Amino acid sequence: MKLISFSVLAFALSLASLSLQAQTDDGLKHCGQTQAIQSLHAKHPELQQHEAQLKQNKSNTGTANKAATATYIIPIVFHIVHEYGYENISDAQVIDAVRILNEDYQLRNADTSTIVPSFKNLKANLNIEFRLAKLDPNGNCTNGIIHVVSPLTNVGDDNVKSDQWDPSKYLNVWVVKSMMAGAAGYAYYPSTADGWPAIDGVVILQDYIGSIGTGAYFRGRALTHEIGHYLDLEHTWGDTNQPGVACGDDGVADTPDTQGWTSCNLSGSICNPPIIENVQNYMEYAYCSRMFTLDQKTRMINALTSTIANRSNLWSPSNLLSTGTDNASFSSTLTCKPIADFTASSKFACVGSSITFSDVSYNAPTSSWQWLFTGGTPSVSTTQTQVVVYNTPGTYPVKLKVANSQGNDSITKTSYITIQPAASPGASTISESFETITIPNTNWTVNSGTDSYTWQMATVGATGSKSVKLNTKQATDGDVDELVGPSLNLNSSYNAYLTFKVAFAQTNTSNTDKFRVLSSKNCGQTWDQRYIKNSTALATTTTIVTGNFVPTAAQWRTETVTLPTILISSNTMFKFEFTSGSGNTIYIDDINVTSAASTNDLLLDGSSVQVMPNPFENQASIKLNARQDGKLTIELVDVLGKSVYTSTDNPVSAGDNTYTIQKNNLTEGVYFLNMTFGETRITRKVIIQ
């Protein structure tokens, strides 16, 4: 089930369908709390009634139900959701984040010395300690930090929580690369999570974790704030999304009414002058957080000692024992065995190119490595990182076995590396209608995302009765699927360009699907974007289709992608890449790569085509020489491949011709001027000043 998961955030959540301020002028992100919760309630109104009943039955302040233990120990697990990029943060960065948490929740943070006099006597030691779990839900050894490969790291919503550990036993934290609404993190109140345990926990950006690696200390307090929500604290101005709107109350007696602050004005007093407002509170937005108050402590301890969302079970002796966070287990120096994983600098390369393989195993330090590179040189290695050269075209597996004193683990990635000839023996054109083939095959490669939905044959076509399709309606949001075409030798070609037909429908106007076409001139080792369209621009019908989309003949559109000379090589490849965002099925058909074999085949003399002046401010002249009469189409596209101006049926006479293009409402920048005459196509780069 896909959930709307943008709720109770700490530092920046805004929904795509809501107009919320997601960050301040200094780039620090804030929150979209009320609107997010309202969106969740709109989807699941039964939660709202449940929450209201729980809030009515509890006391937000007053004397805390103090447990016998001096310290509340909370087992915590971090899920690092990544795609092998910088978002795959180190264990050291996570450990540093836990250090900051424990300092903040135990009043050991050194910056308490700078708390303003009005609040020094209100600063609270919550006696809460966070400990990385040492036993997973199955009783296996863990370091409390797991690494999960998923495109959902780019989305950062509740769908990322599919690997949740029992929330009655662990505080789950998911670390992601980005959030679609520009958020930094969010967490649900206990009253919300009680009605839907599967969404309980914190989601937060990788650069708002800890003070090392991708983190920074001033951002690292974001997790302190989020866990405040997890333990039932509101923002200091109350349950509204944005500060500065109106004076509000958070239901805590010793935090003064405030509009909320996004700058560190330590003498700020707006709501009840001359009463100073608690700008340095962790539940503020000023990024000069130093403290929780005594009554905030009461509210959080009340949450921890309540059965609502099973918070009271987290620190129970039996749970500490089962998660390995009791004093005896936690003080043990026992090391787990590693869990094997690795990544490569590229999965595609030309013969003779170097690929670097890196160990990214987790769960414990690794002391030995055994690599097997079938088809590579070297074919085996015992180093943590290895550079490998492949001298024979083909597709190859890679295996890694890692070990330490506690045991070993291995992983094999089949069909992982694809090696192409340095110069393609293939043709210089493609004309593919998919009528007589199936995919994948020796020419067309399918690179699947993490779910079961990927490119496959379809029984409908723009011409004929077949095409290829991707059922994005059922796919996981953020999942990326690729269709890679054959390698072409275009070295002797002129004026190369790609055309294809596409059909796509939206399921609603907030779909976030993205479709790109990329080209490579080095066997797929690196790619250049040549075309991109997002959901609305991509749609070939204005009709919203909630059922399964099957295009009619009128619902196909022809797209043209120009390949500049600089990107042409003896091994040119094209890739069709789709990122799912809840839209409907996309279809592709009639893929053609066309070029002239020599200048003699051109109806236009490309060498004589001139654009003057270039750059130009208001207008420019196009001068060209044609070999026969006809009609010329002039098109201007931006650097993303979007057509911004088209003029068709311009008369052409054999010999010299002159045409004019106007700046009109176009913005300054780089554009590509495409001129099409018969089967001839010439492209020139132009700059508008």
* 8 A C-beta contact, residue 591 and residue 573: no
Residue 17 CA to residue 158 CA, distance in Å, equals 17
DSSP annotation of 29: B
Compute the Cα dihedral for 640, 642, 644, 650 and give only its sign: positive
Residue 6 CA to residue 18 CA, distance in Å, equals 11
DSSP state string for 574-615:
EEEEEE-SS---EEEEEEEEEEESSGGG-SB-GGG-EEESSS
Q: How many C-beta neighbours within 10 Å does residue 11 have?
A: 25
Residue 416 CA to residue 413 CA, distance in Å, equals 6
- Cα 407 to Cα 143, 250, 262, 399: the distances in Å are 15, 51, 50, 17
In DSSP terms, 674 is beta-bridged to 635, 683
* 8 A C-beta contact, residue 593 and residue 424: no
Q: Structure tokens of 110?
A: 């050194």
Coil, strand, or helix at residue 649? strand
Compute the Cα dihedral for 135, 139, 141, 146 and give only its sign: negative
Cite the active site residues.
226
Q: How many C-beta neighbours within 10 Å does residue 504 have?
A: 30
Closest CA to 595 of 488, 686, 501, 484: 488
At position 57, the amino acid (one-letter code) is N
With tokens 């020489």, the residue in question is 625
- The H-assigned helical ranges of 231-349 are 294-304, 311-314, 317-323, 327-330
Residue 322 CA to residue 305 CA, distance in Å, equals 19
* 8 A C-beta contact, residue 351 and residue 373: no
Closest CA to 16 of 2, 5, 28: 5
Buried b (16+ CB within 10 A) or exposed e, 27-39: ebbbbbbbbbbbb
Could you report how far apart the first and last alpha carbons of the chain are, in Å?
A: 50
Buried b (16+ CB within 10 A) or exposed e, 151-190: bbbbbbbbbbbeebbbbbbbbbbbbbbbbbbbbbbbbbbb
- Cis preceding-peptide flag for 393 (omega within 30 of 0): no
Q: How many C-beta neighbours within 10 Å does residue 233 have?
A: 27
DSSP state string for 293-325:
BHHHHHHHHHHHTS-GGGHHHHTSHHHHHHHT-
- The H-assigned helical ranges of 190-345 are 190-195, 217-220, 222-230, 294-304, 311-314, 317-323, 327-330
- The CA-based diameter of the chain, rounded to the nearest angstrom, is 96
Burial of residue 574 (number of CB atoms within 10 Å: 0-12, 13-18, 19+) = buried
Phi, psi (degrees; rounded to nearest 5) at 327: -55, -45
